[in-house]
Amino acid sequence: MNNLNVVFLGTGSSFGYSFSATNTKTEFMARGLVEQGACVTIINSIVGCSCVDCRSEIHYANVGEVISYPKKGNQLLSWLGNLSSWKKDLKNLYKQDKKNIVILEAPDYHIYRIYCFYAHKYGYKIAVISHEWLPTIKSIHPLRKPSAYLYTKHFGYLADGILPISEYIINKIKKFNNTYLKINVLEELKYIK
């Protein structure tokens, strides 16, 4: 896998600054890829996070570089203030001598379209983690339901592959007629000597 360059886009929630299930999953996937020789970068959401005041790049042990952007006002518009830096970062991370893959996970639909447009423009293949079926989540804010609906209807058509976590999700994504690889629940294995 040393010919692989993987960029996680918005798959965590303030990765490197907070603990969450999505951050843990991203970390396990990234660590596994790094251990196999892949080059890995994690870019937190283009929407930004309140944990940084300006674009930030830190090295995270056993994972690689983590890039974060500041949240600039309203969440629906904050991405506009980070778009220029984000595009530059994504373009600069592309490696001519490697297979370049972007891994995404269920952002708002307009953000998903932006991620896909620029990832394809810069030559990346796109894989999408599908760990929840958005229409079944009752806690989604009513104003975000249209975005969740559009995302669920279309995400598989823009991706080059899907990473579902269950047979339930596999049955739901069959309509996309896309390549998939089931990734089960991830955990750190401790070997007994």
Assign residue 51 the CATH number of its domain.
3.40.50.2000
Q: Is residue 192 part of a domain?
A: no
Three-class secondary structure assignment of 14-51? CCCCCCCHHHHHHHHHHHHHHHCCCEEEEECCCCCECC
In tens, the pLDDT along 123-181 reads 999 999 887 766 666 767 777 778 788 888 888 999 999 998 889 889 988 999 999 88
**Total domains present in the chain:** 1
Q: Is residue 142 part of a domain?
A: yes
Cα separation, 77 vs 68, whole angstroms:
17
Q: Is residue 55 part of a domain?
A: yes
- Measured over all CA atoms, what is the biggest interatomic distance in the chain, rounded to whole angstroms? 53
Q: If you search the block for the tokens 């297979």, which residue do you land on?
A: 99
Q: Is residue 24 part of a domain?
A: yes
Domain range for 115 is 4-176
Cα separation, 37 vs 4, whole angstroms:
8
Give 55's pLDDT tier (boundaries 50, 70, 90).
very high
Q: Is residue 110 part of a domain?
A: yes
Q: What is the CA radius of gyration of the chain?
A: 16
Average pLDDT taken over every residue of the chain = 86
Q: Which pLDDT value is given to residue 51?
A: 87
- Give this prediction's pTM: 0.88
Give kind and range of the element (H or E) at residue 67. Answer: strand 64-68
Q: Is residue 117 part of a domain?
A: yes
Please report, in angstroms and rounded to a whole number, the separation of the first and last CA atoms in the chain. 28
Q: Is residue 186 part of a domain?
A: no
Q: Which pLDDT value is given to residue 78?
A: 85
In tens, the pLDDT along 5-32 reads 999 998 877 888 888 878 888 888 899 8
Cα separation, 60 vs 38, whole angstroms:
15
Q: Is residue 189 part of a domain?
A: no
Residue 103 has pLDDT above 70, yes or no: yes
